[in-house]
Copies of this chain bind each other. A is one copy, B any other.
Amino acid sequence: MKEHLNYAPTPPMGWNSWDCYGATVREDEVKAHADFMADHLLKFGWEYVVVDIQWSEPEAVSTRYNDFFPLHMDEYSRLIPAENRFPSAVDGVGFKALGDYIHAKGLKFGIHIMRGIPRQAVHQNTAIKGTEKRARDIALNNICPWNSDMYGVNVDVPEGQLYYDSLIELYASWGVDFIKVDDIADSKLYHDAHKKEIVAISQAIQKVGRPMILSLSPGPAHLKNGTFFQDHANMWRLTDDFWDHWDALYNMFDRTAEWASFVRPGNWPDCDMLPLGHIGLRAVDGGGGDNWTRFTKDEQYLLMSLWTIFGSPLMFGGTLPDIDDFTLSLLTNESVLQMYREVVERRQVYRDDEWVVWQGYSENDEYVAIFNVSDKDSVVPEEVKKLVEGTALLDLWHGKMFELEDEWEVASHGVLLGKL
């Protein structure tokens, strides 16, 4: 197995700036979230702090991009942080200082990048590190349809690989532990993964030696590429951006059922971020505005149960400093997190229009999640109940026992997540 797949023996857990701040997060906000995570969440396994898209764009205002605007770039055609937003990036140190701050707290540091080379580099024909060739020589006439920053890189020529190597070296020098590469797992325009560039980035990470999680966006990744993703990445997105409405959540039952066979240590197919708590401060894509999640509490239990029994990475999207007790309880339930860490085999075992059932097996325990996907509170029917191979369930969210002879009521859009 490729070395870098070992960097994620259990699914990554962390916070990402997108759901709150879109393309606009600032250094002080990142630090505030790192502080809270170190103080309250690290002991539960939460450790990655990830700066999402367009940290090179000084004028970013929301989740909408300013097309064709100039970005901060170094002499080798590599994007660097915009200093007006990340003051510690002065004097060409890039994200080194912010990385140090995060590491000092026992946490890990992640960044987002777009596949490719900046278009401004190509049209200015700037230099590439380690070669006489220049930006124009390694660029391809392909684009991301929803962001105008980059062209694709031609990795069929050695200088294309060299460019990606130079990027990963720079990130390693900053202390980056996690790289979320966007416009690569499923191109909305070319309708497939950009596989050659995935291989190039994967190889660059192997070469550089520093443990760095490789996370691929956006989804939906295509199932036919499943074994390819397993060989080259730690995470890959199963959906387009996930926001807080039931249709999107319900759709994840399809995605997770299809991908269950691909979950294993080193490979954690990604259900996307948790749009819970306080979100939308400067992100506008979700449609909910600057507000608390539109999911009901039952839907939040359901979401957390599906993500954890499936084995998705958990990237919290809400604000941390002002998190409320209920949301915090979702992130810190020891029984659920134990299941999450220990399950080695999981599977959707039943589905009809009203009920979905998953089973998960760890070395010592068996878990079952009974999801009520209908629009009314209902009692679990006999044919579903008989899938439970035992006499009682311990409800992991509420600590209550459910005996087989009882009626098991599950709320609409809710879940009974139980341990046998």
Q: Which residues of A contact B (CB under 8 A)?
A: 67-69, 119-120, 122-125, 136, 139-143, 145-148, 189, 223-224, 226-228, 230-231, 257-258, 260-262, 347-349
Bound-state CA distance A124–B258 (Å) is 41
Nearest 5 pairs of A and B residues by beta carbon: A123-B123, A141-B148, A223-B223, A68-B136, A224-B258
- Contact A68-B123, Cβ < 8 Å, known A143-B141, A189-B189, A348-B227: yes
Among candidates B67, B143, B230, B262, residue contacting A143 with C-beta atoms closer than 8 Å = B143
Can you name 6 A-B pairs with beta carbons within 8 Å?
A: A67-B136, A67-B141, A141-B145, A189-B189, A226-B261, A261-B262
The smallest beta-carbon distance between A226 and chain B, in angstroms, is 6
The smallest beta-carbon distance between A367 and chain B, in angstroms, is 15
Bound-state CA distance A102–B68 (Å) is 40
* Closest chain B residue to A351, Cβ basis: B228
Bound-state CA distance A140–B143 (Å) is 12
Q: Is the CB of B141 within 8 A of A142?
A: no
Among candidates B142, B227, B257, B347, residue contacting A260 with C-beta atoms closer than 8 Å = B227
Residues of chain B within 8 A (CB-CB) of A124 are 123
Q: Is the CB of B261 within 8 A of A227?
A: yes
- Contact A68-B122, Cβ < 8 Å, known A143-B141, A223-B224, A224-B223: yes
Residues of chain B within 8 A (CB-CB) of A142 are 145
- Contact A227-B257, Cβ < 8 Å, known A67-B136, A145-B141, A148-B141: yes
Q: Which of A124, A125, A224, A261 has the most CB of B within 10 A?
A: A261
Residues of chain B within 8 A (CB-CB) of A228 are 257
Residues of chain B within 8 A (CB-CB) of A227 are 257-258, 260-261, 347-348
* Closest chain B residue to A143, Cβ basis: B143
Q: Is the CB of B230 within 8 A of A261?
A: yes
Residues of chain B within 8 A (CB-CB) of A145 are 141-142
The smallest beta-carbon distance between A93 and chain B, in angstroms, is 28
Residues of chain B within 8 A (CB-CB) of A119 are 119, 123
The smallest beta-carbon distance between A359 and chain B, in angstroms, is 10
Bound-state CA distance A258–B221 (Å) is 13
Bound-state CA distance A68–B227 (Å) is 36
- Contact A67-B139, Cβ < 8 Å, known A224-B258, A261-B230: yes
The smallest beta-carbon distance between A314 and chain B, in angstroms, is 22
Residues of chain B within 8 A (CB-CB) of A348 are 227
The smallest beta-carbon distance between A158 and chain B, in angstroms, is 13
Q: Is the CB of A68 within 8 A of B139?
A: yes
Bound-state CA distance A123–B71 (Å) is 12
Residues of chain B within 8 A (CB-CB) of A258 are 223-224, 226-227
Bound-state CA distance A139–B120 (Å) is 15
Residues of chain B within 8 A (CB-CB) of A230 are 261
Bound-state CA distance A262–B261 (Å) is 7
Q: Which of A136, A148, A349 has the most CB of B within 10 A?
A: A148
